[in-house]
Each structure stands twice: as C-alpha cells, then as structure tokens.
Structure 1
Amino acid sequence: MNALVSRSGLFDDFFKDFAPAFYVRPLHGDALPEPSQIKIDVKEDDAAYTVHAEVPGVPKEDINVSIDGNVVSLRAEVRQHDQKKDGEKLLRSERYYGAVARSFQLPVEVDAAQARARYDNGVLVLTLPKKQGNKTQRLAIE
C-alpha cells in the first residue's frame, strides 16, 4: 500500500527536524484567511435590510460603503503595523494588508438617503431601508 505524503507535511517535517526551536506550526493547520472576502449576514424585514459585515482591525475611517440602486459595495483598507524590536526575528506572520472589497445585490432597491451605518468591535452594521414605490404592481388586462 502506498502512503501519500503531502507536500506541506514533507516540508513541515524537514523544518521541524532542521531547526526545531525556530519552527512555528499553525494551531490547526488551517489555510490563511482569504483577504479578498468580507463575511456578511443579511437579514430582511418588511421595511429594511440589516447587514452585519466583519471588518476586524480596520478603523472606521478606512471603510467605504456605497449604494447604487439595489447593489451594495463594501471596501476597506487593511493595514498591518509591525513593530520590530532589536534582537527580534519574525518566525511566521499570518496577517495581511491591502484592500478588501465585497459587493452584493439585494432583491429590492435601497433608499440610500435613509441608510445608516454603525461600526462597533470590528462589525459594520448597515440598516438599509427599502425604497418605497418599487413594489410590483399587477396590471389589469382589458
């Protein structure tokens, strides 16, 4: 029976044997988070949509929300501020920086003038009222 050796396992074992004191293994072996994805929850009631978006570690000044009809776009500038001390050596870094963005389409247009945004503890909460007068109307056939 052939045992399959994954590439990452092979390199992990090599570095563990080569320099056991300087090798830092990930806690669960999970892949790095995808920086291009902002995780969201969207809820709806009769009057509005409520969106919860995870944007941890980003100041509210670096978050941009735009609304165009029924399309909502979120953009954030993620910055990494490293402070290196004398005699310190970086062994592993799983943090990233750059722009992250996410757009999604809602079933009904949003009243952008009445929309509200609040940012607290890394979670952006959007209250997006539905635009009135956009309801589907059935036409009578003559």
Structure 2
Amino acid sequence: MNDILVIDNLDQLKCVSDPFRIQLLSILGDEPKTGQQIADILEIPRAKIHYHLAELEKNGIIELVKTEQKHSIIQKFYLPVAKKLVPSHELLRYRDDEKKKDRLSYPLKINENNLDSFKKDLKKLVKKASTKKGEEEFIVQVMPLSDSDEN
C-alpha cells in the first residue's frame, strides 16, 4: 500500500466524493476484507457493497489483493491502494491560465535528516514574504510522495 494516492482525474474525484465510499475505505483500512465481510459489518445488502467496491476498483482507489475459494464461491479481498487520498492541485484549478507564469511547482528530493531544517527555512521565507494586504493568497505545500508517485 502506498502512502499517498494523488487523485488526478475527475472520475476518481467523483468516485471518492460519495460519503458511503469513504466509509467503505475506512472499514477496509489496513486489513483486506471481502464485500461480504463489509456487508456484515454494516448490516446492509452485499449487492450494494459490491457495486461500490467495483466503482472504487475501476477508478484505481482500491485493489484486489487476494482471492480464496470457499466451497463454490470465490472470495475477493480488497485494500485501498494508499493510506491517504490527495487531489492534484491541477485538478482543482478553477482560474484561467492567464497567470500560469506565476505558478510554480518543483519536485524536491531531500534527505529525511534535512527535512526539519528545510521546513524551518521555508516557514521563515513564507513569513518574510507574507503581507497582511496582499492582493492574492497562495499556498505552499510540502507533501511526501511514495516511490511510485515520483515517476
């Protein structure tokens, strides 16, 4: 399981915008479960669970991690693909690209031992550049990416 899944398309965002699906992700947690196990926990019909699990799997939010045959039934066990879901900043852009030249994004590879020092320096820089009467607000975000997200 990755640490973070960056949601980079509207279908994924729509998929996880459903409160029931968020509840399913929470129940799945770190231990693989079947649709039947989740249905038993929530005391609702298995068909409803399977529909939502299929949507989550189709959109790359959960994955099938193992199957077991119990009598004549094949049980499918699912897990979320990541511990956290984060929407891409590009996906949430709502303004025209006329100020695109003002936007910047840099990939940063830093040794974990230097991260605290970097955060302190960044905080000082943000404080120095901030004004109470600024025309626009920006956000500076430092977010760890798993190995698979760096490619």
TM-score range, shorter chain: under 0.3
For the pair shown, the structure with the greater C-alpha radius of gyration is 1
Task: Give TM-score scaled by structure 2 length.
Answer: 0.21
Higher relative contact order (CA 8 A, sep 6+): 2
Question: Normalized per residue, which structure has more strand?
Answer: 1
Task: Give TM-score scaled by structure 1 length.
Answer: 0.22
